[in-house]
Every structure is written in structure tokens, then in C-alpha cells.
Structure 1
Amino acid sequence: MDATRVLVRDGEAVFDRLVELFDEYRVHYGEEADPARTAAWLAAQLRTGRLRASVAERDGRGIGFLTSVVMPASLRLGEFWAVRDVFVRPDCRRSGAGRALVEQVLAEARAAGAVRVSLQTEPENTAALALYRSIGFRPVEGLTGLSLSLAGQL
């Protein structure tokens, strides 16, 4: 088996792999499969620069992806990167693909002069937490995350 490659260049083949993986990710979390809508949403997010994406490939097959966003770091007058989504196909987990994707985005963030990279995951996702901690991520103490759903509100 070939080593995992992280593809960050633009191109139709990479986008098609991203759409397939992203739709599989959505289904994994209980959403209905909708490749056409997924493709349209991803294209809009990537085109406007609101989202960045990388795809991991092994043996010519897309096996995982990572999305990230760049946001202002107000107090530091810089930027920080937030990892939004990381997904590796279940049959490809523990292959190094997740690590390759995270390390790629860390390298890009460092090269861009980002002051930090943040991510979040569910507390029961022990495999992901172990991976992120092994790379150097640490829990943020003293902050509470809050959210307000606007779905269905006028």
C-alpha cells in the first residue's frame, strides 16, 4: 500500500474526492446523502475562501479530508486557524491519514504566520483526542463554549 498523500492543490479530481468524502462524513453523522447539494455547498465555501480543504489519498483513493478556516486573532493582531472537520473513512482509520491531514494544516498555518491552530471534538471521541494530544494540542481551560441555534427562527 502506498503512503498517505495529502492533496492540497486545486483540481476536479481532488474536488470530486472531497465531495464524496464529505457526503460520507455527513451520512456518518446522521444526515441524508445529497452529493449534488454537498458539491454546491463545498464549491461555494471554497470559492469564497470561507473554507479550506485537504484530501488524504492512498492507492489513488480518497480516504479522508480536513477542513479549516482562518479567523482574526484580535488581541494578537494576527490570525488563527480553526480545524472544522476531520474525517477518515472507517476502514482507513489508524492508517496515519488523520495525522497527515492535521500535520499538513499545521505546516500551512505556520508558513502563513498564524498565532495558533484550534480544534474541537466530542469528549467521547477518544481516538481523535489521543491523536490530537500526541500532536501537541491541549485542552483549553477557563473557557465555556456557547451556541445559539438560529435554524427555524425568523
Structure 2
Amino acid sequence: MKALLLVLPAALGLAACHKSSVEPETTFPAITAAFDQEFALHHRQQAQLPTAATPEVTVQMTELGYSYCPKDVYCVAPSMAWPTLAITDAQGRIQQLQLPRNAARPNYPSWLDTASVQANGRRYLLTYSRWEVERQLASQEMPLKKDFVLWFRLSRTNP
């Protein structure tokens, strides 16, 4: 019994020292974007195209994966961000789209990835062009999901 009384406070002390990795929830307002124009999204933010009143397509970043290498640090993996998007059509049908992990490539400087999306009886071309960390980080500080902003462009293709 005495051993249990000694082990319990030690376990509680160790549990109290455990750093939580849960990020605080940050909400960003929905935006309205035009077709064939770049728009920026944060984690859990959505863009309604072409109008908020009657959106033809809504693009929401539901999840964000990333690897980040701080400045002046040698890393095995390059810095990159890969989003998971929910594409909602005018009838409310939702498609999940997970873009692969792609680092910037010198041969294709204007985009990181593209995907074809079927919605509203037609095809759309989604272009993921770039990402950045919005705030200035300390030398060894790692960004949170809310610090990233990713740029996309959605284009209508011929029906």
C-alpha cells in the first residue's frame, strides 16, 4: 500500500510535466473568390466561388500536413505543406481531395500541384501554387497549422 502511495504522486508529477501538442483552435472567416484568380486559405478556412450568396463551388482546407526546417538548420526533409481539401458543389455534395507531399521544384516554379475535380456536371482544375508561414518565427521555433497560408486557383474547364 505504501508503494502505491509513493508511485501515484510520482506518476502524477510526470504527467503534469508532459507538454500538450494540441493547438488552440483558430477560426478564419470564409472568403469569396473568383474563378481563374488565386486565393489564399488558412487551416480550416473556406473559399466560396464565385459568390457567397450562391456558391458554385466551395473549397475548404480541412487538414494540413507539413514538415518544416528552420532557417540555418540542416534537415533531411525539405520544408513543405500538403493540404486536405473538401470540395463542395452547388448541390451540397462533398469530395475529399488530399494533395501529395510536394516540395518546390525549380522546373515548375509557378505551381506545386494540380488536380482535376468533377462537380456540378463539369470539370474544374485546381492549382496549388505556393505556401508560406505568415508570421516571423524565432530561430528554432516551429510553426503551427494556423501560421500557414496556402494559395490555390480554381478554373472551369470546357464542359
Does the TM-score normalized on the shorter chain lie above 0.5? Answer: no
**More strand per residue: 1 or 2?**
2
**More helix per residue: 1 or 2?**
1
State the structure with more CA Rg: 2
TM-score, normalization by structure 1: 0.26
